[in-house]
Amino acid sequence: MGDIRNNRLPPEEYARNFADAHPPLTRAQALVESDRCYFCYDAPCVTACPTAIDIPSFIRKIATGDPKGAAKDILTQNIMGSVCARVCPTEVLCEGSCVRTAQEERPVKIGALQRYATDWLFDAGVQLFKSGPASGKRVAVVGGGPAGLSCAHRLAMLGHAVTVYEARAKVGGLNEYGVAAYKVAGDIAQREVEYLLAVGNIQVRTGQALGRDVALAQLRRDYDAVFLGAGLGAVNGLGIEEGAVSGVFDAIGYIETLRQARDLAALPVGRNVVVIGGGMTAIDIACQTKRLGADDVTIVYRRGEEHMSASEKEQDWAQTNGIRIKHWSRPQRLLTEKSAVTAVEFEYTRLDADGKLVGTGERYTLAADMVFKAIGQTLVADPFIEGGRQVLLTREGRVGVDEQRRTSLPGIWAGGDCVAGGQDLTVAAVEDGKQAALSIDAWLRTAKAKGASHG
């Protein structure tokens, strides 16, 4: 039998394990690092940023002692730039495009500099934005995550009255509930939300889920426009018989519990933990269970290292935390004793001549008293049903949008993880919300009457 229990570590070790994993730059460090930037005219780092932050401009402002100006450059393009500085895969986005890498040098620490500027602004209590002159138009935003909040903030700046409907008790989305605690430590996620809402003209209604507490048809009747940033609500299964087995957990659900826990020592954790998946969530749950006191943690992924959606930097981080990563393996069955998981049987995999993943027939077993599913999420379709039929969804099961984030229904826009073809990144969700807000604003100002086609 397994050994899932609490209080595995001394109290001081929990505090140390979940403190900020990457301490902020000091002023002196920020000045030195900003001086490394070439301030490129056609900067590839700007092109690589989904929100198109003028990176050379904000770094130059840091270098000349103007952190307020730097923060304005950042937040004008990405209102959630503080958390993004902590969670963005900068190594494959802006920093991955830094011209210094072509010279086989270390890239400029763009993420750390972005954090320095935005943290300075929050600490100084300087509000850079305010709501615009009232337009008389009302917009409903479904989902208080990065996409929804970005959309709401930009709409408020443009003068529209916004109501955000959020299913949970707090807004913030994955920044608040779904990111490893050591990445977004302390109250920074809520500080960012408070700063964003301080623009004014945004009303927040928590505990309001689309399809349960409010219907899409109702929002279409009551508001001039609707933005859907509801994210994804269901977790993919393992593809094997799971049954009523204890010790098998949804990784995102556990991370949410951990993020809101007042006492980390009260969280149950196993001795032998197996995480199934290859993305950022798999890395986050693996590292956090290890830091909660698990003896052995293994990530198992069905394809190779190069296919994992978790970046190379994140994979390296996991291994420095004592996590094993096994590739080319897929689960076949859960082994149990008295309805509790004791092990997982895996089959080795490979790619056939057509590039299709197939099993080799060779199997092995990993001991496990705790198993986490971290194999992605899927959209819950029910809230998008009107008149007994599905609307908005593509054959892939996500919301279809055009470049302006308009859906197939007049007056409805969407963005973030719920959108087909999205990048499933916080920074991309912020850009979706911003672009949708600009499109909504243009439509509201040109539409002659509510319900006019945005053809």
Please write the tens of the pLDDT for every residue from 5-59: 788 899 899 999 999 998 999 999 999 999 999 999 899 999 999 999 999 999 9
The confidence score (pLDDT) of residue 7 equals: 81
Average pLDDT over residues 277-293: 95
Query: What is the predicted pLDDT for the residue at 387?
Result: 53
pLDDT tens readout for residues 342-399: 999 999 999 999 999 999 999 999 999 999 999 877 666 556 655 545 566 665 677 8
- pLDDT of 413 higher than 50: yes
Which of 44-48, 131-135, 381-385, 423-427 is predicted with the least confidence, judged by mean pLDDT? 381-385
Cα-atom radius of gyration of the chain, to the nearest Å? 23
Q: Which two tokens stand for residue 168?
A: 């949970």
Q: Is the pLDDT of residue 450 over 60?
A: no
What was the pLDDT predicted at 455? 42
Average pLDDT over residues 123-144: 96
Domains of the chain, each with CATH number or no CATH: 35-124 (1.10.1060.10), 138-233+379-446 (3.50.50.60), 236-377 (3.50.50.60)
DSSP annotation of 440: H
Q: Which helix (H) or strand (E) holds 70?
A: helix 67-77
**pLDDT given at position 243:** 78
Q: Which contiguous run of DSSP H or E holds residue 405?
A: none
Residue 448: per-residue pLDDT: 44
Which of 331, 332, 352, 335 has the alpha carbon at shortest distance from 343? 335
Nearest to 158 by CA among 453, 451, 437, 447: 437
**Under 8 Å between Cβ of 146 and 253:** no
Q: Are 383 and 211 in contact (CB under 8 A)?
A: yes
User: What is the separation of C-alpha 191 from the centre of its chain, rounded to a whole number of angstroms?
Assistant: 17
Question: Span 169-197, mean pLDDT?
Answer: 93
Over residues 164-171, mean pLDDT: 95
The per-residue pLDDT for 425 is 87
| pLDDT for residue 227 is more than 80 | yes
Q: Where are the alpha helices (DSSP H) in 64-187?
A: 67-77, 81-87, 110-124, 146-157, 174-177
pLDDT at 246 over 80: yes
Grouping H, G, I as helix, E, B as strand and the rest as coil, residue 424 is: coil
pLDDT at 236: 74
Question: 46 with 52: CB under 8 angstroms?
Answer: yes
User: Please, what is the average pLDDT of the chain?
Assistant: 91
User: For residues 70 and 143, what is the distance between their CA atoms, to the nearest angstrom?
Assistant: 29
Tens digit of each residue's pLDDT (9 = 90 or more) over 47-88: 999 999 999 999 999 999 999 999 999 999 999 999 999 999
